[in-house]
Amino acid sequence: MAELPVPELPATLSRCSGRFTISTLLGAEEGCQGPYAPAEGPGCDSAHPTQLSGSTLCTRTFGYNTVDVVPAYEHYANSEGDAGKGRPSLADLHSILKPDPGHLCAPASDPQRSNGLPEVSSEEAEGEPGKGPVPEPVRFGWVKGVMIRCMLNIWGVILYLRLPWITAQAGIALTWLIILMSVTVTTITGLSISAISTNGKVKSGGTYFLISRSLGPELGGSIGLIFAFANAVAVAMHTVGFAETVRDLLQEHNSLIVDPTNDIRIIGVVTVTVLLGISLAGMEWEAKAQILFFLVILVSFINYLVGTVIPATAEKQSKGFFSYRADIFAQNFVPNWRGPEGSFFGLFSIFFPSATGILAGANISGDLKDPAVAIPKGTLMAIFWTTMSYLVLSATIGSCVVRDASGSLNDSVALGSPGCEGLACAFGWNFTACTQEQSCRYGLSNYYQSMSMVSGFGPLITAGIFGATLSSALACLVSAPKVFQCLCKDQLYPLIGFFGKGYGRNSEPIRGYVLTYVIAVGFILIAELNAIAPIISNFFLCSYALINFSCFHASITNSPGWRPSFRYYSKWAALFGAAISVVIMFLLTWWAALIAFGIVIFLLGYVLYKKPDVNWGSSMQASSYNMALSYSVGLSEVDEHIKNYRPQCLVLTGPPNFRPALVDFVGTFTKNLSLMLCGNVLIGPRKQKMPESCLTADGHTKWLLKRKIKAFYTDVVAEDLRSGVQMLIQAAGLGKMRPNILVLGYKRNWRTASPQSLEDYVGILHDAFDFKYGVCLMRMKEGLNVSRVMQAHVNPLFEAAELPGNGTGTRAALGTADSATLTSVQQASTVFQSEQGKKTIDIYWLFDDGGLTLLIPYLLGRKKRWGKCKIRVFVGGQINRMDEERKAIVSLLSKFRLGFHEVHILPDINQKPRPEHIKRFNDLIAPFRLNDGFKDEAMVHEMKQGCPWKISDEEFDINRAKSLRQVRLNEILLDYSRDAALIAITGLMEGLRMKLSSTGWREVSVPHPAPCCRCSTLPIGRKGRCPSSLYMAWLETLSQDLRPPVILTRGNQENVLTFYCQ
């Protein structure tokens, strides 16, 4: 830990005694010594804060005089990883400490809070000014908040009205199998929920929160929206179930209000309105209502169990109930399929929705005291007890009631009567006639109200049905707004933020309640939900599948952040749960499953298109890292091949927004194809430039993303430009994902720039070739740097001397700048983002560099913006062999399959340029001449040592022919390509070699294979033999007065094109 120098304290601070001690280790607090003590400790004067680089120095220790602080809760409370308040920054620990003696005790948290508990803010403790303390929100434990709520949502009308019928169809054995299969899915999902909910602090939002924070906003947002909608429609479903039961009771007593259909609507609307009132009264009242419903269901269940042991009356016997009988159990143990739904999967699809509802507790995660404890414990306990209730009910009713009964007291017979068939004959009842005619009205296979008939008091079963339906409706009415509120606050979808506002101490989503109520009423008024119910079941199964997949995906990515405290889960079981949930979706209703998947995919596509600016640390991010790492390592194991060559570019942009045209150009042909890396050299002392690098890096990356450029940004701090670029060339990239082309802009101000910057610029090109890079140099008539227009400082990367003075001078220059000039600069900065129309891309393939000069225009032509441009290839040749040379080039290009068919031979490339153009070139280099014609060699050498960029007379004479070639080539470019969209030129190495003889340097011709052109369009003199000013004069002359953008390209002399397939 960093030691603190203890300054002399003012007398007013000598009583500061709030030094922190770890009570579990030391057991007591020590006095405040030194400047770092919490202000709220005894006697600590909070009027004198200490400041250290923006951080507080008055912190907690354990009697050790240091800037460091002990571990505390608030240091880790920010999920984004920023250092919490109270922890010193790395600069505080690493840099020289300069405490202000006038500020020695800053406000800090309570020193007694040594156990790492979260501190309560002053606003929470005191409330608003003029008001009393803010009341604590209602929070529930695992029993009341999760277990009871899940059990109520799992139990439903199927428990009372369909489970006996399923037992009669499938038999006790297969019914248990159906129950256990359904429970297997829900149990695996419950384990996945438990793992996800214990992997960090869970906030409000329930299922949506768990999925979105695990898998990201794309899947989380889509499932959150449909899950909230499904819960809203489920309110209508359960309410209609309740209304139908009430309607049936009214029909039995001939007391219909209007007619059967409208009675369902009236009773349903009244019921859902009452449930809305309970919900708006607050979570406390809603929880009390749920407990009431829970007690009613328990009483009804106990009433049923008591009824099974009460001796059967004659009336009950006529309906098939004979108390517990081994013969009945044996007969009902095996299946007896009947009707169109008489199949295993048919009955499974009917029963499975009764096993759902396990998310009811998780959906109110924001109202739980400790969601990480309550959700796993309550959910798994609810699954266990409801499973036991289903198994017990199936076994007991299958042991008491026969499958068929007439319900007529006249069917009683004496034991052993002839003509009596069936199990009931042994109990004195003859149901043979109705069994053979399939007209029996009672028995497990025919009477849905068998539980009511068996129970000790029938109306209690009806009350249980009411409790099950109303409790499920109320749970869905609460779940939908809670999930939707969290979704609204995340702003993943438009036009829904209005419903995210919370009210009261629990931040109740009242607007969400009203929206859910309106949706529920709308579906209640339909009064026919048979077509909607399968879709809702599939939506819930979608949620189960994604929860299981979230658990599996988070586990398989091996992210260090996946550390759930609940250990009893398996990633493979979670994957199985996800797969089986999808299978069940199609088993239930295949068309509904397709609709559910269609809606999820549509919502997923919308979020992918909008790309919300959220970062939740999802497992998708971890998976992306794993895949990138795996593929990058895998690439290193594979040898490179010409067919897989990709132009991977290191672009010297400086700040990318300073040279948008250069960024756009490279981004056009590298997008979705290869690596693009924007490099920036920050010139200056490391201590001054490092903060700038840290502050601006994210901004430059976001600018690239906003401009839809798929590129990386990196910067280095260096003492000068050339050394910084050398760092980038050597260190940029990873494995085989390394740049192989250096792209840079043309240095427009080379004539006025400092000689050293000129030397550095040319030296960068030499360095690129030394490291076997290809080079691509771009020049635009309007220039590439738009920092003037942006009113920003000029980055020293290439044009440090172009704008003298400081930022004020720049703004003054802007104030007097011609608006037309500014407009042209702005247009030039977006030239590669606009449609190019039916123009031409002219390629001057004068020398064979491996094919890079051809490949880049070909990649450009594949893009939509350049698709209408015609590509023309110009090559040098001899006038007496033009046809042969053209055919040879056309044949070669056809083998490359580039689609270039228009080839032009330039026979006049070696003609002497016009005198006025020669004079312009001589005037251009005149300021850089040594004029050493009458000086001896030693004197010239001494002069060159002090000014290596100067051109001696000997160098001028040696390179005169080459200089004239650049002048002549510029004339050709003006003649042929004045209106092109882009000009691409090759030839960065000269066709002449320099050899040292006894008398000095002389030219030696190097033969070239036909077609041959012994001129260089963009020559680079050999290191130490071609002055930088002469080379820049060549570049200036070559690209002078050209309106289209000019791309000067040179490969590294290795093939990037091939016409072989192996």
Q: What is the pLDDT of residues 464-501, one digit of tens each?
A: 888 888 888 888 888 888 888 888 888 888 888 888 88
Q: Give pLDDT, residue 529.
A: 55
**pLDDT confidence tier of residue 272, bands split at 50, 70 and 90:** very high
Which of the pair, 501 or 827, is modelled with greater confidence? 501
Calpha distance 636→642 (Å, rounded)? 16
The mean pLDDT of 727-731, rounded to a whole number, is: 93
Tokens of 619: 């497992």
Q: Which of 481, 493, 619, 480 is nearest to 561 (CA)?
A: 619
Which of the pair, 795 or 172, is modelled with greater confidence? 172
Calpha distance 772→791 (Å, rounded)? 38
Lookup result for tokens 């398996």: 570
Calpha distance 45→17 (Å, rounded)? 10
Amino acid at 280: L
**pLDDT confidence tier of residue 85, bands split at 50, 70 and 90:** low
Which range is least confidently modeled, 605-619, 789-803, 915-929?
A: 789-803
The DSSP H or E segment spanning 234 is helix 217-252
Q: Which of 219, 212, 264, 230 is nearest to 475 (CA)?
A: 230
Tell me the three state secondary structure of residue 840. Answer: strand
Task: Using CA atoms of 713, 715, 720, 723 in order, give the dihedral in degrees to the nearest 10.
Answer: -80
For residue 1011, what is the DSSP state?
S
Beta strands 992-997; 1000-1005: pairing state: antiparallel
Tokens of 367: 């109202």
Calpha distance 492→608 (Å, rounded)? 10
**pLDDT confidence tier of residue 64, bands split at 50, 70 and 90:** low
Q: What angle do CA 653, 657, 659 make, to 5 degrees?
A: 45
Which range is least confidently modeled, 90-99, 578-587, 670-679, 877-886?
A: 90-99
The mean pLDDT of 863-879, rounded to a whole number, is: 87
For the chain, the maximum distance between any two Cα atoms, rounded to a whole number of angstroms, is: 146
The answer, yes or no, to whether residue 579 has pLDDT greater than 90, is yes
The answer, yes or no, to whether residue 943 has pLDDT greater than 80, is no
Tokens of 959: 């390179």
Count CB-CB contacts under 10 A for residue 839.
Answer: 15
The answer, yes or no, to whether residue 130 has pLDDT greater than 90, is no
Can you give the C-alpha Rg of the chain in angstroms?
A: 41
Q: Give pLDDT, residue 679.
A: 94
Q: Give pLDDT, residue 677.
A: 94
The percent of residues above 70 in pLDDT, for the chain, comes to: 80
**pLDDT confidence tier of residue 830, bands split at 50, 70 and 90:** confident
Q: Give pLDDT, residue 808.
A: 37
Count CB-CB contacts under 10 A for residue 363.
Answer: 31
Q: Where are the alpha helices (DSSP H) in 67-143?
A: 90-94, 122-126, 142
In DSSP notation, 457-488 reads SHHHHHHHHHHHHHHHHHHHHHHHHHHHHHHH
The answer, yes or no, to whether residue 107 has pLDDT greater than 50, is no
- Reported pTM: 0.70
Q: What are phi and psi of 1055, to 5 degrees?
A: -65, 135
The answer to whether 738 and 773 have CB atoms below 8 angstroms apart is no
Tokens of 831: 């030239």
The mean pLDDT of 260-265, rounded to a whole number, is: 86
Q: What are phi and psi of 83, to 5 degrees?
A: -65, 130
Q: Give pLDDT, residue 662.
A: 92
Q: Give pLDDT, residue 829.
A: 76
Calpha distance 484→517 (Å, rounded)? 13
Which range is least confidently modeled, 24-38, 68-82, 238-252?
A: 24-38
The answer, yes or no, to whether residue 155 has pLDDT greater than 60, is yes
Q: Based on the number of CB atoms within 10 Å of its own CB, is 983 exposed (0-12), middle (13-18) or buried (19 or more)?
A: buried
Q: Which of 285, 294, 292, 291 is nearest to 367 (CA)?
A: 285
Which of the pair, 164 or 799, is modelled with greater confidence? 164
Region label for 715, one of left (φ > 0), alpha (ψ between -120 and 50) or beta (otherwise):
beta
Residues in the chain: 1062
**pLDDT confidence tier of residue 302, bands split at 50, 70 and 90:** very high
Which of the pair, 356 or 685, is modelled with greater confidence? 685
Lookup result for tokens 């959700």: 375
pLDDT tens readout for residues 992-1022: 333 333 333 333 333 333 323 223 344 555 5
For residue 881, what is the DSSP state?
G
For residue 981, what is the DSSP state?
S
Packed helices 458-490 and 283-309: angle between N→C axes, nearest 10 degrees: 150
Calpha distance 794→803 (Å, rounded)? 7
The answer, yes or no, to whether residue 786 has pLDDT greater than 70, is yes
Cβ burial 441-459 (10 Å sphere, 16+ → b, else e): ebbbbbbebbbbbbbeeee
The answer, yes or no, to whether residue 883 has pLDDT greater than 80, is yes
